Amino acid sequence: MEKISSLKRRFLIPLGAVYALTILVSFAALARIADDIIIALGTNLAENQALYNRSRTLQPLLQEVAMARKLADSPTLKEWAANEGNAVLAGKALAELESYRRFFRDSSWFFIVDSSRHYYFNDAAGSYGGNELRYTLDPDKPKDSWYFATLKNEADYALNVNPDVHLGVTKVWINVLVRDKGRVIGLAGTGIDLSTFIKEVVGVDSDKTINILVTADGAIQAHPDSERIDFASLTKDTSARKTLFSLIDTDLDRQAFRDALARLAGDPRFHAETLVMSVEGRRYLAGLTHLPEIGWFNVSLIDADTVLHQGQIITIALTMVVALGVVLLATALLLRRLVLGRIAQLVTATRAIGHENGTVPEIPDGEADEIGHLGESFREMAATIRNHTHTLESEVEARTSDLRRSNAELEQFAYAVSHDLRQPLRMISGYLSLLERRMGPSLDGELKSFLGFAVDGARRLDQLIIDLLEYARVGRDAPEPAPVALDDIVADTVRGFAPQAQEAKAFFDVAQGFPVIMADPLQVRRLFDNLIGNALKYRSPERSPVIEIGWKDDGGTLVLWVKDNGIGIDPADHERAFGIFQRLVPPAQCEGSGIGLAVCRKIVEHMGGRIWIDSQPGEGSTFFVALAGDRAGKGG
């Protein structure tokens, strides 16, 4: 699995990097486009705002201006101005002024007769009815200088934002020259309360926009923040004025602003100008319109940062990140489903071929893609392996059964030969015995011993054949394994050797609690018979035999042993001792055919076990028999 997951890592890490890069590039692009969008949106907004403000500003003002001009054009007023002392004319003129008062927005009027510099006024409450002459203007008093400046200006009418110290109100005054045949004979007009004015025109529409009204030199006439308003612009000297120019941050922006104002003033077709400029450290989109009727300009400033909220950009960015995250996740899942999972299946299957003994696992059917083809090839390969394994197994099986058959034939042959040999041998023995009996008394010493050798030879040959028959018979026609109580077998065998043991003064040390095993009891008896017999037979002439018969459970394997203190066997001869007719001692020393241990080995191997010797010459021998656990029953 670790290879697969590393493949996944190797695939997903660069993919993730590509996605991250995509996000970065998109961000950069978005940031660029966002700025363009902000400027486009903001510019539009500023332009519309400026146009809207223009009409909003002009509508009430123009109405007031028109009415003030109409008033200044009144023949009644002109007549009275020319002859101020005439009480009849004065009555008519004042009555006319009063009738206008009701139509002016501020419900007030003023009228100045230039020849006397008398200032007539009545307010919204009509407080000065009958007492309209308020005071006389004095060219030496600064508070009256506005009047003389207005006259000098010679414009038909002028608007002036002015705090009136006498009346305690701040008004936008609409001043209209009263002319008689071109000659200025007075000034008439009205005022609008500045607070109302600001509220209506520059009042905050939204927190995004700042609406400002400026004169052609940039003096601020209206601003949401009244602190910024340049009161009495007309009378101040230019350097003391509060201008929008002084609020603009750079010379470049100031110049652009000045140029825009000039373009608007010079060409009535220019309805609106837009600029991007920095004011008091903030970036604004500015919409500019000209109000030629009052000689002012409207400036609408929109904070560039508020056009598109930071939050909106973050939302867009987050959406992008989430979308790409989803793509990455989907890719990972698809990769796992379509590639890695299936490869992992193949890997598991491939490993199983190596590990499980010969069984080849099934590869599930795949789709008709590259991995599907891989699986297909793998399936074919697995099938081939399966076939080969099968063929190999059946060949081994066939050869094994051939071998078994030829072994059986060989044993059959040996058995038959041994059996058939005994027939003529018995005849020889019989006739030799007959000869010995009939002629024995008459034969001299030498012939008699010759005859004795022949009889003995025949007897030994018979014994050899019997032993050979016994060897051949091991495993033939063996009954089904049955429970064999080793305790009983060992005790019986030891008892059977009682005469020899007595004669040799032997001592047996037999362990207790031998387990019950599954075997052929006759064979087991023969095994112990041979081993115990040998232990007695090959005893040391120097000591009386001590024979130990024991067992142990060696991790599930039953180990039995027969240990003696006899003559011992040279390690070089340990293997040879198990061969047929192999004897390690000269025939004169001990009787025997050299077949006992060969029979033992054949019996043990027939039981699926192993037999071996641990011995040194002169130090006794131990014969070990190990039987697989499944042969051994419970101990006790």
Binding site for ligand ADP (CB under 6 A): 530, 534-535, 538, 564, 566-569, 577, 582-585, 592-598, 621
> How does strand 557-563 pair with strand 610-615?
unpaired
Closer residue to ligand ADP, CB minimum distance, 428 or 580: 580
The smaller minimum CB distance to ligand ADP, of residues 209 and 534, is found at 534
Nearer to ligand ADP, 69 or 606 (CB): 606
**Shortest reach from residue 345's CB to ligand ADP, in Å:** 60
Give whichever of 481 and 568 is closer to ligand ADP, judged by the CB atom.
568
Q: Where are the alpha helices (DSSP H) in 187-269?
A: 194-197, 251-266
Between CA 56 and CA 43 the distance in angstroms is 20
**Which residue sits closest to ligand ADP, CB atoms considered?**
592
- Spatial strand order of the sheet with 183-193 comes to 133-136, 118-122, 109-113, 183-193, 169-180, 157-164
Nearer to ligand ADP, 78 or 526 (CB): 526
Residues in a beta bridge with 312: none
Nearer of residues 107 and 622 to ligand ADP, judged by Cβ:
622
Q: Minimum CB separation from ligand ADP for residue 418, in Å? A: 17
Instruction: Give the sheet arrangement for strand 557-563, strand by strand.
Output: 507-510, 546-554, 557-563, 621-627, 610-615
Residue 462 beta carbon to ligand ADP: minimum distance, rounded to whole angstroms: 15
Residues 117/137, Cβ–Cβ less than 8 Å: yes
As measured in angstroms, the least distance from the Cβ of 622 to ligand ADP is 9
**Whose Cβ is closer to ligand ADP: residue 169's or residue 414's?**
414
- Give the burial string for 129-159 (b: 16+ CB within 10 Å, else e): eeebbeeebeeeeeebbbbeebbeeeeebbb
Q: How far is the CB of 514 from ligand ADP (least distance, A)?
A: 20
Whole-angstrom distance, CA of residue 222 vs CA of residue 199: 10
Please, what is the end-to-end C-alpha distance for the chain in angstroms? 50
CA distance 580 to 602: 11
Minimum Å distance from CB 430 to ligand ADP? Answer: 26
CB 249 within 8 A of CB 264: no
Who's near 305: CB < 8 A, 6+ residues apart? 282, 283
Q: Which is nearer to ligand ADP, 243 or 615 (CB)?
A: 615
Backbone conformation region of residue 577, classed left if phi is above 0, alpha if psi is from -120 to 50, else beta: alpha
Q: Kindly report the backbone phi and psi dihedral angles of residue 540, in degrees, each rounded to the nearest multiple of 5, phi listed first.
A: -80, 140
Query: How near is the Cβ of 497 to ligand ADP at its closest, in Å?
Result: 13
In angstroms, give the least distance from the CB of 507 to ligand ADP: 16
Query: From the CB of 526, what's the least distance to ligand ADP, in Å?
Result: 12
Residue closer to ligand ADP, measured from CB, 397 or 619 = 619
